[in-house]
Structure 1
Amino acid sequence: MNLTHPFNMLYDLCIAGSGPAGIITGLEYSRLNPGKKILIVEYGHAGKNDRNSLDDSIKVHNNVNHYGPYECTNKGLGGTSATWGGRCVMYDEIDFMERGVTGDDCTWGMDILKDLTPYLPKTAEYFECGEPVFNLNEIKEFKNTHIAEGFEEGFVTDSVIERWSMPTRFGKRYAEQLKASRDIHILEGYEFRDFKAPDEKGNVTSATIRNVLTRQRLEITAMKFVLASGAQETTRILLRNKQLFRNLDAVPAALGHYYQGHISGKIASVVFNGNPNKTDYGFMKSRDNTYIRRRFQFTPDFLKENNLLNTAIWLDNPLYYNPLHRSGAMSFMYLAMITPILGKKLAPPAIAQSITKGKRTGINEHIRNILRELPHSLLTPAAIFYKRYLLKRKLPGVFLFSPENKYALHFHSEQVPHYENRLYLDEDQETLHIDYTLTDDDINSVIKTHKALDSWLQKCGCGKLTYWYEEDELYEAIKNMSRDGMHQSGTTRMADSPRKGVVDSNLKLWGTSNVYVCSSSVCPTSGQANPTFLLGAFACRLAKHLMMN
């Protein structure tokens, strides 16, 4: 990582952003192209303050369903991987298919999934999440096993899994490798500002960056540019630089629009009929010692036939803040999480919020739970603390055994690509506004997939769902509990023309010949998966494309 920065150098590649996408793109391009000069420009810097001008200039207009900027992203080398949970999930075939529920707004296709497949092994290496196999039936020791006694696969499946990273903090993990490279320059504390307009052939020769502290502007010249600054900041840069589209008839109408995340929460529990000791309620370990976990999902045919959004549902704990769970271990962990200093060390703000729901309630009842189950109230959290914080490959989360074979169900569902969900700049060209809401289709699909799961479990004789709300209360409950902003996608979506999207299938910005976007913002649909692992695959694929073009 060369710390001298000859600004008059013509770089082969300039990357804006040093999160997983930027780091993977840079390292892969360097590996494939020895001797090529790469500059990675990162907004964050050593000794940075708790606050920054980018996050301070974001205005969220729906604080019920969208987290604030400081809860969603991180600045600095490694980007948001600094507080990433480590969940690696692959998108499903249904996410790339045209469907009634997404209308004409699924603007990528199955060819994209096919093109990404060869890059999954290298992606898994970067994320340190084991072999890139996401179905238990393809893993010998788990083939034809099930989540609970009596379960059978049909239109509901239990074999698709999530894999877990260390979690890998890309800044710490790859700092030495970047430092050892003679070809990669890291420039921290600079904001990517303005592009020079493309020439008639679409070639962009330079961009202006600005020192975060001194406000000094510098010009960077490069053969190719990649925007990998996260969905919000990448979109902000493009909204500010509409001259990049001068060779088109108009700025792509999709730019900044179709902003999506995931709708998530808990509205029901599942009660299994079989032996509680035979229920896979928590994490399993694969043969490479990687943590994996089951989830309920639905087949593509079922989703298409019933016009439903892709949804994953997994077993979870009851609500921590409600002492009626009567678990001393859960009460101890809840009290630890709401303790001001300790709580911040145990989990990032958004994850802590999802656990505690911001509630401080039932303290005396929680203490009684702890006292009633001593010493297990302390021994269980101690064992979890050791596995979760002191080992290299950390226990990804906490799931507690239920002797009643009853578990809360956590849903994580796709959103409809909705044009009015958008990012846009104020007249000052600095303030980024976020308009974000949940649609009727988003919410009703969650209700219908739960009913489908209940129906299938009862048909198998495996179990049944018990709802936490009356049926006529479900819609409002889901609308008020779901909050995202961490899984940002859609605002620079991929399409086969600038009439439908912002980048082409190779992530190249329409209207240019050498500016690319490597961000989850290119995903036209959000699927059931968080986009981190898929984005890594896009980064590996992009590095290969840049080498050949």
Structure 2
Amino acid sequence: MLEYAKLYPEKKILFVEYGHKGQKPTNQLDDTIKIDNLTNHHEPYECTNKGLGGSSATWGGRCVMYDEVDFIDRPAVNGGCTWDRSLFNEVKQFLQATCDYFECGESIFDLDDSNEFKGTRITENFKVGVVTDTAIERWSMPTRFGARYEQEILNNANITLLQGYEAREFAEPDITGRVSSVKLRSTTTYEVKEIKAEKIVLAAGTQESTRILLRNKQLFSLLPQPPAALGKYYQGHVSGKIASVKFNGDPKKTEYSFLRDKDGVYLRRRFQFDTQYLVNNNLLNTAMWLDNPLYHDPQHRSGAMSLMYLAMITPILGKKLLPPAIAHSITKGTVKGVNKHIWNVIKQFPGSVLTPATIFYKRFLLKRKLPGIFLYSGQNRYALHFHAEQTPEEYNRMELGADGEQLNIHYTLSDKDVSSVIELHDALDKWLRKNNCGQLEYWYEKNELPNAIRGVSRDGIHQSGTTRIADSPDKGVVDSDLKLFGTSNVYVCSSSVFPTSGQANPTFFLGAFAVRLAHHLTN
């Protein structure tokens, strides 16, 4: 919206937001979502936020690029790759503008493209090949986009912000595909307003963009039938920890935490896998990174970790420190060994207090905040966090309930999702051993790994796939310009348009699509 306003200052923009100042802790939308698998999917209130800035209100700030392999149709994605490399290359043109909005520095996502860090390695003896260590995540400074950009929106004379309204009913497209109006309903008084617009962009997040389209199938009246893909192929990520990595070299030469570039932006390495290796071996795109041991297990014997774990499980304090979904990924919702954690704190006092105090200062009191907490291991042993692509499966879907209001979410992990994670752990282990760099230490027996992955992985916060991009309504819901099939002026700007989930969380790449859409709308 801000990019469009800069490019087209003579146009008037109405920005409609469901949330509003003084809203209640609960809302009708999240109250009418039913999820059939809460083992692998977070509760509705942990997945999204209503209000200016949307889900950035609880976003951690990690900016990650999608990869070329995500745009290659491979057997691993069951024919679900309905976008292509030409689109990927086009979107790259808008990366620097996106980085500027995210305030995450240069649009460089591989250290070999950086003059500062080119040729450096994550640890001694590591070599790039089947496995790479040069892919990075960049960290945004504004992780609350509502607060960051509210004043700029309010100060723009051409933007009208209407809060506390939801899109309910779209006019049927005319013979040219033009949709002339949409009815908005107040979330408090249920008053209905009809607004007319030259162009309409639906940017309500995956769940609500999908629900709105499912409820407004008249938008597809010029097509033989509504797109069959609408609401289907829902994806997130398979994520968790099943192993540690033990490096052979000097622990002091292992990059276990963040780098900072010349602009002070935090960066972090990720293990990823060569594109051709993934294609040849029919594996799903996956990233892995060094992490702390499980916080809830006092056997880590870290006084600092124990103190932070105790803080996170403290009811009021824990909610202030981290969003619920992120806190759960660290504590696993487990309260155990409290006395042993206290003993860890006592044994390592005062370091067990000073280290968290320093982290607290960097994480909460500085303008560019420390994005996360990673602690040094003198043993050169770190937990390994995996973050893996899901296969686009038709049975993972969103559909309306009989009342036309409730949104039912069906979500599970496929056998391929699980087996690919295991095979790529083995690939990393073999690569490290081959180069005398280190090895993996699994936390479970080999036959226990599938159930372990199904038990630890929980997503629903990285939603994609349900209004996917394709070259025709037979395969998807929007075209490569994000225009809704069957219309000439309705667009969907949500990660729901991403046909494959890749290894990356979708926030940054969606930002690039938003900038690109702003430029397209001015044509």
TM-score tier by shorter-chain length is: over 0.9
State the shift of 1:427 in Å: 1.4
Tell me which residue corresponds to 2:34. 59
* Residue 241 (str. 1) matches residue 216 (str. 2): yes
Tell me which residue corresponds to 1:118. 93
Task: Report the CA distance shift for 1:167/1:325 in structure 2 as closer, same or farther (over 3 A).
Answer: farther
Tell me which residue corresponds to 2:338. 363
Tell me which residue corresponds to 2:457. 482
* Residue 325 (str. 1) matches residue 276 (str. 2): no
Q: After superposition, what is the alpha-carbon deviation per residue over 1:25-62, rounded to whole angstroms, capped at 9, x for unaligned?
A: x1111100012000010000000000000000000000
Partner secondary structure for residue 388 of structure 1: helix
Tell me which residue corresponds to 1:285. 260
Tell me which residue corresponds to 1:28. 3
Q: After superposition, what is the alpha-carbon deviation per residue over 1:338-374, rounded to whole angstroms, capped at 9, x for unaligned?
A: 0011000000000011111111100010011001111
- Counterpart Cα distance in 1 of 2:172 and 2:402: 21
State the shift of 1:484 in Å: 0.3
Tell me which residue corresponds to 2:373. 398
Aligned amino acid, residue 406 of structure 2? T
* Residue 219 (str. 1) matches residue 190 (str. 2): no
- Counterpart Cα distance in 2 of 1:518 and 1:191: 16
State the shift of 1:117 in Å: 1.0
* Residue 185 (str. 1) matches residue 171 (str. 2): no
Describe how 1:447-462 pairs up with structure 2 within 5 A.
447-462=422-437
Tell me which residue corresponds to 1:382. 357
TM-score (ref. length: structure 1): 0.95
Aligned amino acid, residue 511 of structure 2? G
Query: Does the CA-based 8 Å contact 1:204-1:513 persist in structure 2?
Result: yes
* Residue 543 (str. 1) matches residue 515 (str. 2): no
- Counterpart Cα distance in 1 of 2:495 and 2:53: 16
Partner secondary structure for residue 371 of structure 1: helix
Q: After superposition, what is the alpha-carbon deviation per residue over 1:350-400, rounded to whole angstroms, capped at 9, x for unaligned?
A: 001111111110001001100111110000000000000000100000000
Tell me which residue corresponds to 2:118. 143
State the shift of 1:64 in Å: 0.3
Q: After superposition, what is the alpha-carbon deviation per residue over 1:404-425, rounded to whole angstroms, capped at 9, x for unaligned?
A: 0000000000000001100000
Tell me which residue corresponds to 1:70. 45
In the alignment of these two chains, the number of paired residues is 523
Q: After superposition, what is the alpha-carbon deviation per residue over 1:435-477, rounded to whole angstroms, capped at 9, x for unaligned?
A: 0000000000000000000000000000000000000000000
Tell me which residue corresponds to 2:241. 266
* Residue 351 (str. 1) matches residue 292 (str. 2): no
Query: Does the CA-based 8 Å contact 1:255-1:502 persist in structure 2?
Result: yes
Query: Does the CA-based 8 Å contact 1:295-1:313 persist in structure 2?
Result: yes
Query: Does the CA-based 8 Å contact 2:244-2:442 persist in structure 1?
Result: yes
- Counterpart Cα distance in 1 of 2:418 and 2:401: 30
State the shift of 1:480 in Å: 1.1
Aligned amino acid, residue 372 of structure 1? K
State the shift of 1:103 in Å: 2.6
Partner secondary structure for residue 142 of structure 1: coil
Q: After superposition, what is the alpha-carbon deviation per residue over 1:152-210, rounded to whole angstroms, capped at 9, x for unaligned?
A: 00110000000001143111111111111010000000011110000111000000000
Describe how 1:428-443 pairs up with structure 2 within 5 A.
428-443=403-418
- Counterpart Cα distance in 1 of 2:59 and 2:141: 10
Aligned amino acid, residue 225 of structure 2? A
Q: After superposition, what is the alpha-carbon deviation per residue over 1:302-341, rounded to whole angstroms, capped at 9, x for unaligned?
A: 0001100000000000000000000000000000000011
Tell me which residue corresponds to 1:3. none
State the shift of 1:102 in Å: 1.0
- Counterpart Cα distance in 1 of 2:55 and 2:120: 35
Tell me which residue corresponds to 1:9. none
Residue from 484, 487, 506 that aligns with 2:481: 506
* Residue 128 (str. 1) matches residue 82 (str. 2): no
Tell me which residue corresponds to 2:175. 200
Query: Does the CA-based 8 Å contact 1:86-1:165 persist in structure 2?
Result: yes
The alignment's C-alpha RMSD in Å is: 0.5
Query: Does the CA-based 8 Å contact 2:176-2:488 persist in structure 1?
Result: yes
Task: Report the CA distance shift for 1:69/1:331 in structure 2 as closer, same or farther (over 3 A).
Answer: same
- Counterpart Cα distance in 1 of 2:262 and 2:253: 20
Query: Does the CA-based 8 Å contact 2:142-2:148 persist in structure 1?
Result: no
TM-score (ref. length: structure 2): 1.00
Query: Does the CA-based 8 Å contact 1:167-1:394 persist in structure 2?
Result: no
Unaligned runs of 5+ in 2: none
Residue from 251, 254, 257 that aligns with 1:276: 251
Task: Report the CA distance shift for 1:501/1:192 in structure 2 as closer, same or farther (over 3 A).
Answer: same
- Counterpart Cα distance in 2 of 1:284 and 1:167: 19
State the shift of 1:287 in Å: 1.1
Query: Does the CA-based 8 Å contact 2:78-2:391 persist in structure 1?
Result: no
Partner secondary structure for residue 415 of structure 1: coil
* Residue 312 (str. 1) matches residue 287 (str. 2): yes
* Residue 96 (str. 1) matches residue 71 (str. 2): yes
State the shift of 1:76 in Å: 0.6
Partner secondary structure for residue 160 of structure 1: strand
Aligned amino acid, residue 423 of structure 1? M
- Counterpart Cα distance in 2 of 1:29 and 1:100: 38
State the shift of 1:134 in Å: 0.2
Tell me which residue corresponds to 1:21. none
Q: After superposition, what is the alpha-carbon deviation per residue over 1:207-234, rounded to whole angstroms, capped at 9, x for unaligned?
A: 0000000011110100000000000000
- Counterpart Cα distance in 1 of 2:195 and 2:295: 51
Aligned amino acid, residue 249 of structure 1? P
- Counterpart Cα distance in 1 of 2:368 and 2:464: 29
- Counterpart Cα distance in 2 of 1:359 and 1:500: 42
Query: Does the CA-based 8 Å contact 2:56-2:143 persist in structure 1?
Result: yes
Aligned amino acid, residue 219 of structure 1? E
Query: Does the CA-based 8 Å contact 2:62-2:139 persist in structure 1?
Result: yes
Aligned amino acid, residue 348 of structure 2? E
Tell me which residue corresponds to 2:127. 152
Query: Does the CA-based 8 Å contact 1:319-1:355 persist in structure 2?
Result: yes
